[in-house]
Amino acid sequence: MQLGRYFPAGTRASRPQGGFMLWIELPEGFDTLRLNRALLEQGVQIAVGSIFSASGKYRNCLRMNFASQVTREIEEAVRKVGATATQLLGELDG
């Protein structure tokens, strides 16, 4: 699955070794707490980056877990995350 086709320009992703997760970094100033609230209405939940920092860092980052082959359902959830992030980023810029 190509994350670049779903996420806004400037998004970076890494696949940490030894795990079934993706660490995604959105442009600086983006708030993944706001993204998570918008996604809950669509039946999707992400792990916001700030929960991985005692000092509140990584507000523009998120973690997505996976443990199976990519299914249509998983791809649709990833599309929703990317589309909603793009929409919210547009609101920041606009």
CATH of domain 3-93: 3.90.1150.10
pTM, whole model, 2 decimals? 0.87
Q: Token pair for residue 21?
A: 């997760």
Q: Token pair for residue 87?
A: 């929409």
The pLDDT value recorded for residue 20 is 77
Query: Can you tell me the distance from the alpha carbon of 80 to that of 94, in angstroms, rounded to the nearest whole number?
Result: 21
The pLDDT tens digits along the chain (94 residues) read 677 889 998 899 987 676 678 899 999 899 999 999 999 999 999 999 999 999 989 999 999 887 667 788 888 999 999 999 999 998 877 6
| Closest CA relative to residue 58, chosen from 42, 74, 69, 47 | 47
- Residue 58 CB-half CA count within 13 A: 16
| CB 60 within 8 Å of CB 26 | yes
**Residue found by looking up tokens 């359902």 in the block:** 73
